[in-house]
Structure 1
């Protein structure tokens, strides 16, 4: 048989150890701190204010430096996308959506993008 528990650590009214309560409280405090770091509760507002760089990519081109050096005013660089194909919406270097280029109604001198597809993360993509 095991020896009786040390009565000096027991709470007189309930029979529970004060050390056990302290351990549970410490775990709860640690979990609360972890939740704040993950953006729950009051920290969410500060995360939502973080600026990100959003770009709309019409297309790209690859060429040798020698051809790049020959470019001048009025030169046309053909891109890999065709007219009417969706453009990529990139946030901080990652494609998050695709869409169509449109003229902004309020200001006919500006372009915008109408989202047609939201790109989900793939299983092979790292989470970092």
Structure 2
């Protein structure tokens, strides 16, 4: 197994067991330090994983017959009101709401609402 595979295996080795209380404050401090180091290692590994961030303006369900009749002059009404916050998604999972801003002649996002999701929910 390569070092990267070992890092990945150890990073994904989540320990859900309940530990017995530490015998002393020193032992508890050492456990906390080891746990913190493990979290840092996991975070370092996860920080290199690419994800797709998407800004969704709105959506609409239309029939295939309506879609076939779409041409250059067609207007399709969407399900959001003008000025309403837009959905920010990570890998298709709703992460929060944002508004569009302009930064150096490019579009950007100002996050105005953030859903505190667990990492596991974002990987589904």
Q: Is the TM-score greater than 0.5?
A: yes
Query: Would the aligned equivalents of 2:11 and 2:45 in 1 still touch at CA under 8 Å?
Result: no
Deviation at 1:34, TM superposition (A): 7.4
Q: Deviations over 1:22-78 (max 9, x none)?
A: xxxxxxxxxxx9753357344532321111011101101111100100001132211
Q: Paired residue for 2:69?
A: 70
Give structure 2 stretches of 5+ with no counterpart: 1-7, 15-37
User: Comparing both chains, which one has the higher relative contact order based on Cα–Cα distances under 8 Å and sequence gaps of 6 or more?
Assistant: 2
Give structure 1 stretches of 5+ with no counterpart: 1-32
TM-score (norm 1): 0.59
Secondary structure at the aligned position of 1:90 is classed as: strand
TM-score (norm 2): 0.61
CA distance in 1 between partners of 2:107 and 2:86 (Å) = 13
CA distance in 2 between partners of 1:71 and 1:56 (Å) = 24
Q: 1:111 to 1:74 in 2, by over 3 A?
A: farther
Tell me which structure has the larger Cα radius of gyration.
Answer: 1
Structural RMSD (CA): 3.1
Secondary structure at the aligned position of 1:72 is classed as: coil
Moved over 6 A (4+): none
